[in-house]
Chains A and B, each alone.
Chain A
Amino acid sequence: MGREPQSDAEFLIRDTTSHPIAYTPAYKTSVLRSPKLALISLQQSLSEVTAPVFRADELGPQDNDLILNYAKGGLPVGERIVVHGHVHDQLGKPVKNALVEVWQCNASGRYRHKKDQYIGAIDPNFGGCGRMLTDENGYYAFRTIKPGPYPWRNRVNDWRPAHIHYGVSGDGWVQRLVTQMYFEGDPLIRSCPILGVVPSEEQIRGLIALQDIGAFVPLDSRAYRFDIVLRGQRATLFENNVQKTAEGRPQ
């Protein structure tokens, strides 16, 4: 692999074939919200290769425990699960201290959100959000209730497969990613228009968490494994610096 990237090292250009395109008519809301003009390609500067650094003391001790972080004298209803995995970059480097934020509906398929009108019941003991920082190995874990599927207004009988939303902030602004994690074996995965915008089977598989028996908590919770890959940060091989420094760059 060679030496560790410098912290101002550039990131690999984004492989757009890994991602949905902007205009995807089967997901109707994208039709008027998709830029029509080409993105302007930008060589990275300090503005792109840096990003906010988060500290552990900004998060609370229960922020990654969705079973307890909104419990009001009882426990939320539903299947207890642990979700865990690693955040790596495209070159296999663990992304340390990445901020991982998750949000989801409850076991009934209802979000605790003033705009969600679904008939599924609100759970008084479930908020539906959590956050954590990855450790030295890029590892994260949280505990939650398995979200339920729910209907949404796209075609009249479209249902979202059970899913957990993720937001990830890594070492560089260009690594910022939002995505959704699905559950192995969910029959709704095949027909979901939002998952259907992902351009390949391989990339869809990358969004489906596998049940992880090895991480079950016996007599307590099942577990799912979900690994995330962010843009790769490369070592600078030749002088082509994002920034000049007074002392020059030691090679």
Chain B
Amino acid sequence: MSADQLVVRRETASQTAGPYVHIGLQPEVAGFDIFENNFGHVLANERTKGQRIRIEGRVFDGIGTVLKDVLIEIWQANAEGRYAHPGDRQPGKSTDPNFRGWGRACTDFESGVYAFDTIKPGLVEGRNGRFMAPHVNAWIVARGINIGLNTRIYFGDEAEANARDAVLNIIEWEARRKTLVAERLDAKGDGGAVVYRFDIRLQGEGETVFFDV
């Protein structure tokens, strides 16, 4: 027996979140009211520091069907580029008491559109000091997805930073990098928020880059 068999257990197997994921994670979307405090798609309040943005999009399957039963969670740094987590010890950056940087949204049962209302994250230093462009981490689950899919959302108006990003640059197929870049739209959202569109393609032409993290 090798050492890893002695000390490293197996991770519990993943299973699909199923068609009724909303009951557990967003019961109001399933059609009922049960918890006083619900976790939702609005990450910023009126006191949160930073540029208001809205990230919206749709999720497509392998033949281009818009999926209406997907749940997406995002995790991001605040406007200074700091995560609200004790492990983040980047010097000179503070947490924002009005920003946790985490939210979840479901694709709409009619339109298939999901949306997050948040702020644009600042720069987070990459592994061993390497450069990373502003980005939001995303995790996608749904019926038919056996294990949650991890991806990143970058911003279309950060072309220079994106070109230097350590993670985008490890994707050897340059044409695929753009699947991680949200397009900045001309229209403004509520309160002047900048709107970005980030569509996710689970399979086939233009398949989104997913990461083994």
Interface residues of A (CB under 8 A from B): 1, 6-9, 12-16, 18-22, 24, 27, 29-37, 39-53, 58-60, 63, 69-70, 88, 90-92, 101-105, 111-116, 127-129, 131, 165, 167, 171, 173-174, 176-180, 194-195, 197-199, 202-204, 206-207, 228-232, 240-246
Contact call B20/A178, Cβ cutoff below 8 A: no
A18→B20 CA distance, assembly (Å): 24
Which of B34, B150, B176 sits near A127, CB closer than 8 Å? B34
Known: A20-B14, A127-B23. 14 other contacts (CB 8 A): A7-B85, A20-B146, A33-B61, A45-B132, A52-B101, A90-B11, A91-B7, A114-B31, A165-B21, A165-B24, A178-B16, A180-B15, A195-B15, A229-B12
Residues of B within 8 A of A128 (CB): 23
Contact call B135/A60, Cβ cutoff below 8 A: no
A230→B128 CA distance, assembly (Å): 25
A128→B31 CA distance, assembly (Å): 12
Contact call B34/A41, Cβ cutoff below 8 A: no
| Contact A229 B9, CB 8 Å, known A102-B24, A112-B23, A113-B23 | yes
Residues of B within 8 A of A31 (CB): 62, 144
Distance (whole angstroms) from the CB of B111 to the closest CB of chain A: 15
Contact call A206/B13, Cβ cutoff below 8 A: yes
**9 residue pairs, one from A and one from B, having the closest CB atoms:** A103-B24, A29-B144, A8-B87, A52-B102, A50-B85, A33-B144, A7-B87, A246-B91, A39-B212
Which of A18, A60, A104 sits near B36, CB closer than 8 Å? A60
Distance (whole angstroms) from the CB of A191 to the closest CB of chain B: 16
Which of A1, A50, A229 sits near B83, CB closer than 8 Å? A50
Distance (whole angstroms) from the CB of B46 to the closest CB of chain A: 19
B113 contacts chain A at the CB level, 8 A cutoff: no
| Contact A12 B8, CB 8 Å, known A47-B124, A113-B20 | yes
B192 contacts chain A at the CB level, 8 A cutoff: no
| Contact A59 B37, CB 8 Å, known A22-B145, A49-B87, A90-B11 | yes
Give the nearest-CB partner of B149 in chain A.
A35
Residues of A within 8 A of B12 (CB): 18, 177, 179, 206-207, 228-230
Interface residues of B in 65-103 (CB under 8 A from A): 65, 67, 69, 73, 75, 77, 83-92, 100-102
A108→B62 CA distance, assembly (Å): 34
Residues of B within 8 A of A20 (CB): 13-15, 146-147
Contact call B125/A243, Cβ cutoff below 8 A: yes
B53 contacts chain A at the CB level, 8 A cutoff: no
A104→B148 CA distance, assembly (Å): 19
Contact call B147/A19, Cβ cutoff below 8 A: yes
Contact call A46/B35, Cβ cutoff below 8 A: no
